[in-house]
Amino acid sequence: MQVYNLQADPANGSLTRFTSANRGVRLTVLPQLGQPHTDPEDETPQFDTSRRVVSTLNPKESAGLLSVFDGKSTEYKIQSEHRLISLSQTGPKSYKLSGHLNRTDGETIPVDLTLEKATLTTFKNFLESSIDEGFGFVQHLNPHKSWSRGDTISASVLRGVSWTASTTTEMAVTTTTTTT
């Protein structure tokens, strides 16, 4: 999943990419280079790949973000010496993912996304999917029932079940936010 946040001031713009790999959600932020392109044929890069920063959220952190979407908490923060990420509700169907990620060279790259409508739905579904994959719930246990997060599974059903999970999943959904 990719979210473009193009700004008139390039210091505030970014491309944020979410991918699921190795039982976690990989968050990649690429800072904006220069003014937003007005010509669709312009081939100059819009984002600085040499200054990108990557951070991985484990399934517990992804579940914490989902707790905000499910109304179980008003805010969830992920904090360490290398990152500060916060998700909070800003309206009835509007959320803000903000904070910063630190590069190894000491540079701080801001994270500032507004999640609404399609972006919100896609991100929530992506997190739910990554948690299911991270905990190994991607395989259906019974061909007549589709299992999902939150279902109760009896011990008799679990006997003899082989659990497998793919190592990489990516949702190819692109949304664009432009502010001038």
- At 150, is the pLDDT very low, low, confident or very high (cuts 50, 70, 90)? low
pLDDT at 162: 41
pLDDT at 172: 36
Q: Give the pLDDT mean for 86-90.
A: 96
Q: Give the pLDDT mean for 38-66.
A: 93
pLDDT at 26: 94
pLDDT at 146: 54
pLDDT tens figures, 105-149:
999 999 999 999 999 999 999 998 888 877 776 554 444 555 555
pTM (whole model) above 0.75: no
Q: Give the pLDDT mean for 76-104.
A: 95
Q: Which H, E and C letters describe the chain, residue by residue?
A: CEEEEEECCHHHCEEEEEEEECCEEEEEEEEECCCCCCCCCCCCCCECHHHCEEEEECHHHHHHHHHHHCCCCCEEEEEECCEEEEEEEEECCEEEEEEEEECCCCCEEEEEEEEEHHHHHHHHHHHHHHHHHHCCCCCCCECCECCCCCCCCCHHHHCCCCCCCCCEECCCCEEEEEEC
* pLDDT above 60 for 58: yes
pLDDT at 24: 86
Q: Give the pLDDT mean for 100-106.
A: 94
CB 3 within 8 A of CB 177: yes
